[in-house]
Amino acid sequence: MIRATLSALLSHWVRNKLQLAMLLAGLALATALWSGVQALNTEARSAYATAEALLSEGETARLEHRSGQVSLSDFLTLRQAGWLVSPILEGRLTLGEARVTLIGIEPLTAPPGAGPALAAEDLSRFFAGHGFAHPQTLREIGPHTPDLQSSEAVPVGTVLVDIGTAQRLLETDQLSALTLGQTQPEGLRPLETLTPDLRLIPPGEGAELAGLTDSFHLNLTAFGLLAFAVGLFIVHSAVGLAFEQRRAMFRTLRALGLPLRHLTACLAAELLVFALVAGTIGLVLGYALATLLMPDVALTLRGLYGAPVPGALAFNPLWALAGLAMALGGTALAGAQALWRLWRLPLLAPAQPRAWAHASARGLRLQTGLAAALALLAMFLALRGTGLVAGFTLLAAVLLAAALTVPLVLTVLLRLAERAARGPLTEWFWADSRQNLPRLSLALMALMLALAANIGVGTMVASFRATFIDWLDLRLVAEVNVMPRSAEEASALRAFLTPRTEGILPMQRVDAQLASQPAQIYAMKDHATFRDNWPLIDPVPGVWDRLAAGEGVLVNEQLYRRAGLLAGDMLDIPQAGSLPVLGAYPDYGNPLAQAVLALPLFNEVWPETPIRQFAVRTDNATELIAALQDDFGLSPAQITDQAQAKEISLAIFERTFLITRALNVLTLSVAALALFAALVTLAGMRLAQLAPLWALGLTPRQLAGLELTRALVLGALTMLLALPVGLMLAQVLLAVINVQAFGWRLPMQIFPDDWARLGLWAALAILAAASLPALRLWRHGPAQLLRVFAAER
Amino acid sequence: MNALTLVSVSKSFPSAEGRVEVLRGVSLTVPQGSAHALTGESGSGKSTLLHIAAGLELADAGRVLIGESDLTAADEAGRAALRRGQVGLIFQQFNLIPSLTVAANLGFQARLAARHDAGFITHLAERLGVADLMTRYPEQLSGGQQQRVAIGRCLAARPALVLADEPTGALDEATGDRVLDLMLDLTAETGAALLLVTHSPRLAARCGTRHHLRAGQLEQAP
Amino acid sequence: MPDRRTWVTFFQAGGRFASARLAALLCVLSLSMPVQLSAQGFAGLGTDAEGFAIPERGRALSFPEDHGPHPEYRIEWWYLTATLTSEDGQDYGVQWTLFRSALAPREAEGWDSPQVWMGHAGLTTATEHFAAERFARGGVGQAGVTTHPFRAHIDDWHMTSRAGPGEDELDRLEVHARGADFHYTLEFTAEGPLVFQGDQGYSVKSPEGQASYYYSQPFYTVTGTLHLPDGPVEVSGQGWLDREWSSQPLSDDQQGWDWVSLSFDDGYRMMGFQLRGRETFTAGTWITPEGTPNPLPDGALQFTPLAETRINGRVVPTSWQIDWPEGGLSITTEPLNPKAWMDLSVSYWEGPLRFSGSHSGRGYLEMTGY
């Protein structure tokens, strides 16, 4: 019985191959986008987990000097007092073709944990300069790395070497920090008396990669979910249509004595099989997608947060299972309504066309109510919400509310158009569009979401880009930057540069805690470079003079916003006391809090802080760089010119948003597919609606043209709706999400060119989606339409 | 003058047993203002004949004239124009446009044919007993009401020829009779010619001329 | 104001995250390294001596130079043991050892040094055994040995000469070590001369002729304080220092050794060991109360295990019968605590004992390769 039932049920799909293809494609695409995004997230998270598992296992506290440098004698003092500490040296270095983080450790004293095992013979190789790096780092460095050995235990972008090797390569005799072993002997002299200059950084601090990157992953997940939801629209409409079309068959089967339970089970089984097949295809596609995007994601995460993420994707069975489960769950969700209707279907339901208008009026009221509730929630969150999760909830509420109001707004618009229409055909056109809206509304909502997301994210990225470029121009005002390697070289450089340049701005920094956040404090020389070029947020009157007089500090926007500071508020600066905040400055791309003090005050509080860098003003950068290299003997690595710096910054910026754009395009494609599915579905059902018109003397060609026009008009209206929603989205991204995630707020700028481009793309997508059903109507119209009448008896 | 002229119309369909000849050189004339009935067994080809007369389907051979216009020589657009201007079609169901109200449906074809006459439509609606239903949508009507609206919609355009294919087939006998009476009265009133396709001799008897289709050929009804 | 890195590489995270990575990385070698060292363990002592100096018979030892390190030899140790008793009559044993292991036969300043230092400290009571270890690289000052004044140290552990003018550097020593839950500080005072083991300090370890330089100071009296979790304990007793260095002390088939240092109630001392391999190789030195050594050739001593103890998954013979028929010696040893296992990166059994039989007294037992 079951077999006979199944073969009867499945025969439907054999005859409706396009419908089957839509169902599978929708589900596969939904699964692909979702699982692709999840694969990226999983990979990145496992990379953080590697780093953090090591960290928490070691549970290593650290000792640091505010200058960022620890001397060997500090190490010896503590060891000889019985403290189990181990030295670390860290720095950036160009190796081969890659810029890497070099980490030097002392294996004999390093606290326990996991990592590449060193056999005894390796130890002498390690001492002799052989290091470890992730296979990907090795590839990035290129072929000239005889001294590096591949190890998966080392984070990407990092080269691990012996402390002595690191000192040689970084040309220093200093250390970056001392790590404190987890268990220490009892009864030792306290650290504060032994090394009063060193600061104890408790374990766990800094292990916030996951927290920091949450916003990025939330962003990806949101996109994945959006795409998945859009894909489910497709599945829903395909499943719904198949059920609708097989009503007569269900009736017959039940009339023949098939129990309802059996029939429902068979249909559920059919859905299960589809879900498994499509889910598997989706997983393959998702994996391919993730593999394609992974290098960019890795670069973004490394660039944005310094998170060590490999560019290659590992296959994770759990991920595959989760993806399949998602496909099954999605299918269940999309098919639930149809199965429920089947369950409730009276044995001999009248075979009349459904009363759409009635059902949709009720649905519309429900949707409108829900949209209103969501809008209220969004308003509440916009006024009261704090935190990243609230920000994203706000985003979701705005999007959903907007999506839910799409049918209502379109209905109203179409009704207005209908009123204004003159002539029977235009009247019919609008009336018919309105009547068929419920069938299309899911797809149109999906399209609206995709378009709004595109506009919103596009506006955010473009605004950010514009602001960032302006900011870079102001910030990178120094023509040449030079990094001295030692205090001696610094003073020699100053003497060398003074007669040759317009101005020398030394850069000194100490690490500290500000408003209980890890922070850096910089010294700023009073110079026109800063007075003329630094844009300030909320400055007090006479800010530059007061800063130069040591009467206060400037803070970066991140600190300003996170600590809720206002101009004039007092800020505790360790060792310098409490100083008023004179203003804030934008500091895009920096996760840390920052404060700026006048150079004289800085040197008073922290004398002998090493000079890390000179920003040099000059009329002739080329000549100066040549002189620095040829006459002074600086290595090229110590010099950066302005153009170079700008170029690198922009390149990283572009890569950062590449993935966002890719996902945007994919979401839009899925939305177009959803529309296509809905239109194909609709086309089958609309024959009976169009047949009378044909009988009344309209040609199939006219009818096809009207169908195409209808899709375009609905698309255009949707695009119009998406525009304000997208701008609202951009505003939330710029003013809420960015502030929460990164700590800076960006002014929104409008880019109508982008909208026009998007509109064009949307129109093309709609045309592509609507043209197949329209073409079929045109070509095979008479035969199909005639069947409506011929099949009536 | 004849509203409809069929000259030696032939039509065959492919089937599992080879081509089936449904119509074998059928000739028929329906003069202006007359009412003809066409009967036949199920599958005898009477609907096909009607479809060919309406230009919904093409004959394999023979000619079809609507008034003096040669339908067989027209293209799809020409056939559609002829339907729009000259022919009223009434089927068993699917006559009305679901997205339009009764009022809009009634006026629809007349407006397409540019022969809209609000007074005439009101008159028709009253005659057909649907004047109270003008703001309703087709799905809100009973089958009999729907067919009455379909008749009104058809006649409002003042066609020269009304082609009806089992217009009361989906109705019970009493309702069907009332609808048929209305249709006959109104076509006579408007001077339109009628070709009614039905399988019921009882209904056919109410038309002036009767034809019976058997084995693809017309014979005078008994 | 962003530093250069922030200027140049937009979005580049600051030092904090770099440090997080760093902290994570720290662990990279860690435990795995000492574990590897232990695998090498005592078997490593038998590897070939290419590049390293090899002991030669007849070379006269000279002091204080030879108290100091010999970086051209692969391995070396400064090995103190003491059998102690508290005022309330409880027995204790203490070990303090500094090992030197060279990855290459040279010393260098700074981190380039190929010398690896390892400190072991042990403290045995009748019911408990404490052990601790330290590692250090040579060259930077974290660990090492200086000869004049003599000081051997690793971190805060040290063995420092308190010798007066005219005395040997090793005649008076202050010794300190600290583990997680114990520490001790002891004064060692020599009551007799240094004693050369083997042939004037040339100690043969196998029939094939593997050998080491080996001398001892077996005549220390010891006083000091042990700090245990229950509190400090004043102790006194006897101590024994072994100094040994070599590049290939064991032959390939030798798995380990059983070694004793014995202090007889009548003032005599004896060092004896057997090296377990295809054939057992024994050697020893009978030392008069005046410090005159009497080397015992291969086969003169017989070691017979009497009782075994299961500890850390290994079966170790912790009670022995030791016979020297020609000297009329036949004794059985009884450990203070049979569970005196040094559970460290390099692990072995080391603990105090008492012996009885033809003679009686106290001593230390060391067993490796189980």
Indicate whether A411 and A526 sit together in one domain.
no
In Å, how far is B164's CA from the nearest CA of chain A? 12
The residue from A290, A317, A352 where one domain ends is: A352
Residue C153 pLDDT greater than 90, yes or no: yes
Of all residues in chain B, the one with the smallest CA distance to A418 is: B100
Indicate whether A129 and A231 sit together in one domain.
no
Indicate whether A289 and A183 sit together in one domain.
no
Q: What is the pLDDT of residue C114?
A: 87
Indicate whether A311 and A378 sit together in one domain.
no
In Å, how far is C35's CA from the nearest CA of chain A? 9
- Please judge whether A435 and B95 are an interchain contact, meaning their C-beta atoms are less than 8 angstroms apart: no
Binned at pLDDT 50, 70 and 90, residue B221 comes out as low
CB of C300 within 8 A of CB of C282?
yes
- Please judge whether C30 and A107 are an interchain contact, meaning their C-beta atoms are less than 8 angstroms apart: yes
- Within 10 A of C126 (CB to CB), how many other CB atoms are there? 13
Residues 294-353 of A with CB under 8 A from C: 303-308
| Residue A631 resides in a domain | no
**B159 reaches A (C-beta below 8 A):** no
User: Considering the entire predicted model, what is its pTM?
Assistant: 0.60
Residue A776 backbone dihedrals phi, psi, to 5 degrees: -65, -40
In Å, how far is C273's CA from the nearest CA of chain A? 28
The average pLDDT across A123-131 equals 82
**Each residue's pLDDT tens digit, B57-106:** 888 889 999 888 888 888 888 888 888 888 888 888 778 887 888 888 88
The average pLDDT across C357-368 equals 94
Give B89's contacts in chain A (Cβ within 8 Å).
695-696
Q: What is the pLDDT of residue C305?
A: 94
- Give the distance from CA B197 to its chain's centroid: 8
Question: CA end-to-end span of chain B, whole Å?
Answer: 26
Instruction: Identify the H or E element spanning A131.
Output: strand A131-133
| Residue A630 resides in a domain | no
- Please judge whether A431 and B107 are an interchain contact, meaning their C-beta atoms are less than 8 angstroms apart: no
Mutate to test the interface with A, among C5, C6, C21 (most CBs of A within 10 A): C21
Q: How far apart are CA B23 and CA B59, in angstroms?
A: 9
The average pLDDT across A568-596 equals 83
Give C227's contacts in chain A (Cβ within 8 Å).
187
Locate C56 and state its tokens: 């030669």
The average pLDDT across C111-122 equals 91
**Each residue's pLDDT tens digit, A282-314:** 889 888 888 887 777 776 666 555 566 666 667
- Within 10 A of C224 (CB to CB), how many other CB atoms are there? 21
Mutate to test the interface with B, among A437, A699, A780 (most CBs of B within 10 A): A699
- Please judge whether A424 and B107 are an interchain contact, meaning their C-beta atoms are less than 8 angstroms apart: yes
The residue from A314, A331, A352 where one domain ends is: A352
Q: How far apart are CA A151 and CA A200, in angstroms?
A: 31
Percent of chain A at pLDDT exceeding 70: 84
CB of C99 within 8 A of CB of C119?
yes
Indicate whether A423 and A472 sit together in one domain.
yes
In Å, how far is A425's CA from the nearest CA of chain B? 8
The residue from A149, A171, A201 where one domain ends is: A201
Pick from B57, B94, B113: CB nearest A792: B94
Residue A391 pLDDT greater than 90, yes or no: no
| Residue A494 resides in a domain | yes
Evaluate whether chains B and C are touching (3 or more beta carbon pairs less than 8 Å apart).
no
Indicate whether A176 and A157 sit together in one domain.
yes
- Please judge whether C13 and A306 are an interchain contact, meaning their C-beta atoms are less than 8 angstroms apart: yes
Tell me whether residue A653 is exposed, middle or buried, using C-beta atoms within 10 angstroms of its C-beta: 0 to 12, 13 to 18, 19 or more: buried
| Residue A714 resides in a domain | yes
The average pLDDT across A605-627 equals 83
| Residue A185 resides in a domain | yes
- Please judge whether A123 and C36 are an interchain contact, meaning their C-beta atoms are less than 8 angstroms apart: yes
Indicate whether A539 and A411 sit together in one domain.
no
Q: Which residues of A touch B (CB under 8 A)?
A: 352-353, 355, 357, 423-425, 427-428, 431-432, 434-436, 688-689, 691-702, 782, 785-786, 788-790, 792-793
Q: Domain span at residue A582?
A: 480-617
Give C1's contacts in chain A (Cβ within 8 Å).
507, 509, 522, 524, 594, 596
Indicate whether A646 and A718 sit together in one domain.
yes
CB of A596 within 8 A of CB of A633?
no
Q: What is the pLDDT of residue C217?
A: 96
Q: What is the pLDDT of residue A148?
A: 85
Locate C5 and state its tokens: 């890195």
In Å, how far is B100's CA from the nearest CA of chain A? 7
| Residue A632 resides in a domain | no
Indicate whether A473 and A486 sit together in one domain.
no
In Å, how far is B197's CA from the nearest CA of chain A? 13
Q: Which of A246-250, B10-14, B195-199, C64-68 has the highest mean pLDDT?
A: C64-68
Of all residues in chain C, the one with the smallest CA distance to A56 is: C24
Nearest-5° angle of CA C354, CA C358, CA C361?
Answer: 25
> Residue B90: which of B140, B157, B8, B27 has the closest Cα?
B157
- Please judge whether A790 and B108 are an interchain contact, meaning their C-beta atoms are less than 8 angstroms apart: no
Assign residue C224 a region (left: φ > 0; alpha: ψ between -120 and 50; beta: otherwise).
left
Cβ neighbors of B56 (< 8 A, separation 6 or more) are A694, A695, A782, A785, A786, A789
CB of A41 within 8 A of CB of A175?
no
Average pLDDT, chain A: 78
Kindly report which listed range (A51-65, A401-415, B14-28) carries the lowest average pLDDT score: A51-65
Q: What is the pLDDT of residue A170?
A: 85
Kindly report which listed range (A20-29, B48-57, C36-45) carries the lowest average pLDDT score: C36-45
**Each residue's pLDDT tens digit, A195-214:** 888 877 765 544 344 555 66
- Please judge whether B93 and A792 are an interchain contact, meaning their C-beta atoms are less than 8 angstroms apart: yes
Locate C242 and state its tokens: 């072994």
Locate A785 and state its tokens: 């339409």
Mutate to test the interface with B, among A686, A703, A789 (most CBs of B within 10 A): A789
| Residue A308 resides in a domain | yes
Indicate whether A88 and A53 sit together in one domain.
no
Indicate whether A588 and A496 sit together in one domain.
yes
* Sheet hosting strand B217-220, strand order edge to edge: B87-90, B161-165, B193-197, B35-40, B209-214, B217-220
Residues 70-99 of A with CB under 8 A from C: 72, 75-76, 79-82, 86, 88, 90, 92
Binned at pLDDT 50, 70 and 90, residue C241 comes out as very high
In Å, how far is A700's CA from the nearest CA of chain C? 59
Q: What is the pLDDT of residue C145?
A: 95
| Residue A622 resides in a domain | no
Structural domains of chain C ordered from first start: 31-367 (2.40.370.10)
Indicate whether A260 and A188 sit together in one domain.
no
- Please judge whether A432 and B137 are an interchain contact, meaning their C-beta atoms are less than 8 angstroms apart: no
Domain tally, chain A: 4
Evaluate whether chains B and A are touching (3 or more beta carbon pairs less than 8 Å apart).
yes
**Each residue's pLDDT tens digit, C17-40:** 222 222 222 222 222 333 333 333
Structural domains of chain B ordered from first start: 2-220 (3.40.50.300)
